[in-house]
Structure 1
Amino acid sequence: MKHLTSTALAVVAAVGSATVGLAGGAQAQDAREFRIGMITPPAHVWNQEAAAMSETLSELSDGRFSVVVFPSGQLGNESTMLQQLQTGALDMAFLTTAEVTTRVPDIAALHAPFLVDDIADAAAILRSEPAKEMLEKLPAATGTVGPCFAMTGMRQLMTREPIESVGDLSGKRFRITPAPAIRTFFEMLGAAPAPMPLTQVYDALANGQIDAIDMDFESIINFRYYEHAPTMMVTNHHMFGMVALVSGRVWAGLPAEDQAIVREAVQTHCDAIIDRFVAEEAGKLERLKAVDGLTVVEDVGPEFFGDVVARWDTMWAEQTPYVATLRELAAGL
């Protein structure tokens, strides 16, 4: 804890330094290749934009900076990568918002069930002032700097067997992304949450280890989960966010002008990720509707799930005031 606290203090100091110019005549650094880790495969939008960020960084830094991407959990799961960020062993990562909720409970509000109606509203929430306030909590809580949020679309339910009512979800073994707020939702449905790495999900469906998943269109297409979960309910029950992180130790070692370059490059590609998901979401649904053997049940709204939204809000409002803040914001979109 003492080690983490000293790191966090260094990060907080470094965040402030970005706004006051170069102290003591510090000079921009020599060439540097930033290592960025993520759990998604090379074909995923996150990975594509991370690779494109290398060119952006090069342009902004006059060729000094570049990025090398480590996809598909090559550097470990998200928890492991967060630890690597804290120690400076890893420079950057694109992590799901789920991973950081245990350290910044306010971010759990982004996983409120049926917070938004569609992906365009999800984009507005992730770019909002309350979301920016959440990012400001990261340095002290995680030893990282979070320039921006992005996303990987809306979450849908996929099951091995047809589902006729919410009662049919009871007892089903659901693969979930590990996060208390997400676990709460499925436990309130009577399901049995089963956290596991993304890379293990396909085989777990194939061998019957799990009965169902909640997943976004992008990953459903990339991993072909429909081959073993042939029923998809279009619920949009969660917006699923990403947070771009820079190691606090790495950040603290950058002069202010280089911090500004990194922040601009990361923000550019967070925006690109969001814009791509918003633009492509409808087309991805149409691709899935054309898949032979996949039954797509559309427009499954919050009413299907009974009172779970109200019960979730009651429980999580005690953990963070941002539940109410984001509900109010979403209602005005």
Structure 2
Amino acid sequence: MNRLQKFVLGCAAAMLPFGAQAEEYRLGLITPPPHQWTVSATEAAAEIKEKTEGRVDILIFPSGQLGNESQMLQQLQTGAMDFAFFTLGEFANRNPNYGIFLAPYLVDDVAGARELLKGPTAQTLLDEMSDFGLVGFGWGMAGMRIIVTGETVDTVENLAGKKIRTIPFAPELAFWEALGAAPTPMPLPALYDAFANGQVDGMQIDVEGTWNTKYYEHAQSIIVSNHMMFPMAAVGSGRKWQGISEADREVIDTVFARKLDELVARYGEIDAKYKAELEATDVSVKTVGRDWFGAAIDAWYTEWREKAPMLVALEAEAQK
């Protein structure tokens, strides 16, 4: 470090309140920079830095730069990493109750998902993040799930035997197995090339990712089914959390909670915007409902009400 760099660092430290110490923290997530999760994480980090007067500086690492979610979870548990926006995969594989948000047609739209993600069952599961050595800040989500395929799909029977990229957790795999497809877990950063070269025949995804990552360029069919919501958990390392002052913890908690709720609320508009963009392409875009999937959905519920007892309570909340 040269003299100028030392001088700049010294001036920055002098601007902090007496006794305070600036520290850099790392937030990892698997989504690319344009994705709304990454955008919201970046916005939250900037606000937290401002409101803590620079004491908490959260650096954002998108696109799995810090590893896949399994690797990042281990880093959070050891304190080698500080914050993350996670899909439910690593939690649902350890506790089936975390998979209940993926129940097909549990909600009709983003507005319904937003209410459930603020409800008592969601809060209970957030509090139980301590079982993983984590602190839970709140729930976000991506858009409602759709199906994108490289070949034309008219009926659910056309999906039989198709390799469909999924997230590697049990409730999602079970859904696709019930449809007779071959669910194929794969890291999100590898999906574009895998779809382009035929390693997978299709994917369960959202309209935002389909448009921004240009998966539609290699697609023949887009089935707008909106069959699942896709929650995200914002979490922090329990080990590192204890080292942050109470005042700064309150700022982090408050900013994340608000930004996550804003993120979920945006998805109604986001889904509508990108659906319109996709409908303007040459790809066939077909909207379907629950009946399109046949008996597979009822079979899924029969299995998962037993495997994940909290599903019944969540269904009751959804019906209200």
TM-score, normalised to structure 1's length? 0.88
Deviation at 1:145, TM superposition (A): 0.8
Question: Corresponding residue for 1:169?
Answer: 159
- Give SS of 2:125's match: helix
**Does structure 1 retain, via aligned residues, the 8 Å contact 2:110–2:264?**
no
Check if 1:234 corresponds to 2:194.
no
- Distance change in 2, residues 1:40/1:148 (3 Å): same
CA distance in 2, matches of 1:271, 1:178: 26
* Structure 1 residue corresponding to 2:284, chosen from 295, 311, 314: 295
Partners in 1 of 2:239 and 2:220 — Cα distance?
45
Cα 1:324–1:29 change in 2 (3 A) is farther
- Aligned to 1:137, the other structure's residue is in SS state helix
User: Alignment partner for residue 265 of structure 2, among 256, 272, 275?
Assistant: 275
Over residues 93-125 of structure 1, what are the superposed CA-to-partner deviations in whole Å (9 max), with x where a residue is unaligned? 111123321123211100111111111111111
**Is 1:152 matched with 2:155?**
no
Structure 2 counterpart SS, 1:63: coil
- SS at structure 1 position matched to 2:306: coil
- 8 Å Cα contact 1:104-1:138 kept in structure 2: no
Which piece of structure 1 moves more, 56-65 or 73-82? 56-65
1:240 is matched by which residue type in structure 2?
A: F
1:110 alignment partner in structure 2 = 101
Please say if residues 163 and 184 of structure 2, whose CA atoms lie closer than 8 Å, have aligned partners that are also in contact: yes
Task: Tell me by how many angstroms 1:69 deviates.
Answer: 0.6
1: distance between equivalents of 2:64 and 2:222?
26
Q: State how far apart, in whole Å, the 1-side matches of 2:317 and 2:294 are.
A: 23
Aligned to 2:72: 81
The question of 1:223 aligning with 2:225 is answered no
Question: Aligned ranges for residues 8-87 of structure 1 at < 5 Å?
Answer: 29-87=20-78
The answer for the alignment partner of 1:20 in structure 2 is none
State the distance in 1 between where 2:60 and 2:310 align.
33
Aligned letter for 1:312? W
- What does the per-residue CA deviation read over 1:292-313, in whole Å, with 9 as the maximum and x for residues that have no partner? x211001x11111111121111
State whether residues 94 and 243 of structure 1, in contact with CA within 8 Å, keep that contact through their aligned partners in structure 2: yes
**Matches of 1:156 and 1:243, distance apart in 2:** 21
Q: Please state how far the C-alpha of 1:54 moved relative to its aligned partner.
A: 2.1
> Structure 2 length as normaliser, TM-score?
0.91
Query: Shift of residue 207 of structure 1?
Result: 1.0
Following TM superposition, the consecutive aligned residue runs of length 4 or more in structure 1 with deviations greater than 4 angstroms are none
- Contact 2:56–2:248 (CA under 8 A) maintained in structure 1: no
Q: Deviations over 1:277-325 (max 9, x none)?
A: 123221121111112x211001x11111111121111111112222111
CA contact (8 A) 1:157 1:235 kept: yes
How many residue pairs align between the two structures? 303
| Offset, 1:60 | 2.3
Q: Hey, what's the Cα distance between the residues in 2 that align with 1:84 and 1:109?
A: 26
Q: Distance in 2 between matches of 1:308 and 1:325?
A: 22
Kept after mapping to 1: 8 A contact 2:76/2:134: yes
Query: In structure 2, how many angstroms separate the alpha carbons of the residues matched to 1:305 and 1:206?
Result: 26
Identity %: 41
Unaligned runs of 5+ in 1: 1-26
* Matched position secondary structure for 2:81: coil
Equivalent AA in structure 2 for residue 206 of structure 1 = A
Match of 1:244 in 2: 234
CA distance in 2, matches of 1:326, 1:113: 12
Identify the residue that residue 90 of structure 1 maps to in structure 2. Answer: 81
Residue pairs, 1:186-265, within 5 angstroms: 186-265=176-255
Alignment gaps of 5+ in structure 2: 1-17
SS of residue paired to 2:143: strand
- Tell me, in whole angstroms, the C-alpha distance in 2 between the residues paired with 1:159 and 1:279: 24
Give the secondary-structure state (helix, strand or coil) at the position aligned to 1:270: helix
Amino acid at match of 2:244: L
- Partner in structure 1 of residue 126 of structure 2: 135
What CA distance in whole angstroms lies between the structure 2 residues aligned with 1:28 and 1:104? 42
Q: Does residue 330 of the first structure (1) align with residue 318 of the second (2)?
A: yes
1:20-58 Cα deviation digits (max 9, x unpaired): xxxxxxx98521222101111111111111111122112
1:154 is paired with a residue whose SS is: coil
Decide whether the 8 Å contact of 1:163 with 1:169 is kept in 2: yes
Report the more deviating stretch, 280-289 or 238-247.
Answer: 280-289
SS in 1 for 2:32: coil
Match of 2:3 in 1: none
